Amino acid sequence: MPKTKEIKTIEVEVEDKAELAQVENTALADSPKWEEASTDILIGRINVKGKSSGYDAGDFGDLVIKQENVIVKDGHKAQAVVVSAVKAWREKTPFGSGVRGRIARTEEEAQELIEENKALGDRGFKVVEFADITMLVKQSDECEDDEGFEVPIGDDHWAIGKIDVSGKGYDFTYKALKTFQKLNPTASLVAVTWELYTKQEQWDKKIWWVPMLKSSKHETSQEVLDWVSNFKQGV
């Protein structure tokens, strides 16, 4: 399926911090191309609450938007509509080092970055894939507080946010989207409602939570499709 070039504004921190950077990359082919008309719109960052999170909102495993409001509770699922998904590559720098890894926007740039780090030997960084996914998240019964759900569509309220995924989170979200797209070439990712939730992972004595996306059998309502279409046009 052909791919298109787009200018993306993404936040390049993996977990809890939000720093904006301009990234041009290849998006999923049928993702709405709204970015050019919406560059001045602030979209909140979605984080998974973990032990190293530097904010008070939520419990471990919750999905939190803007570090302030819980939009998905751990152990529960919420309906989500994928608006945009962008893949890129970056240097994996030591956690807490304060060093920002460089980003590659194309496969060619990624290969160059890999070679540069190989040449540095032990001083080089590993280059890893990551993705920035923008989605609408429907308010569920578990999230009674309306804060964070700023988008009224029909009788429902939705949050709109972006999540940065890498590692297993990348596998369980972006790769899940790409796999669905490959197996269902005539289906639109926007027309499908996805289940969004978190899963606990453990390695050695470390415990953390990763975001998950799973396709559902529910179609996106026409009201939501219309909203996305308007948003795509910058309305």
User: What percent of the chain is predicted at pLDDT more than 90?
Assistant: 69
User: Which single residue is written with the structure tokens 């996305």?
Assistant: 228
Q: Can you give the pLDDT at residue 153?
A: 96
Q: Is the pLDDT of residue 87 over 80?
A: yes
Q: What's the rounded mean pLDDT across residues 66-75? A: 96
Q: What's the rounded mean pLDDT across residues 36-64? A: 86
Q: Is the pLDDT of residue 9 over 70?
A: no
Q: How far is CA 58 from CA 3, 40, 55, 68, 96, in A?
A: 38, 28, 9, 8, 22
In one-letter notation, the amino acid at residue 77 is: K
Q: How far is CA 75 from CA 71, 174, 180, in A?
A: 12, 21, 24
Closest CA to 201 of 191, 210, 211, 213: 210
Q: Can you give the pLDDT at residue 8?
A: 45
In one-letter notation, the amino acid at residue 119 is: A
Strands (E), 66-179: 69-72, 78-92, 103-104, 126-138, 151-153, 156-166
Q: Can you give the pLDDT at residue 205?
A: 82
pLDDT tens track for 96-142: 788 889 999 999 999 999 999 999 999 999 999 999 999 999 999 99
Q: Can you give the pLDDT at residue 97?
A: 80
pLDDT tens track for 162-184: 999 999 999 999 999 999 999 99
Domain ranges of the chain: 4-87+134-230
pLDDT tens track for 202-212: 888 889 999 99
Q: What's the rounded mean pLDDT across residues 12-40? A: 47
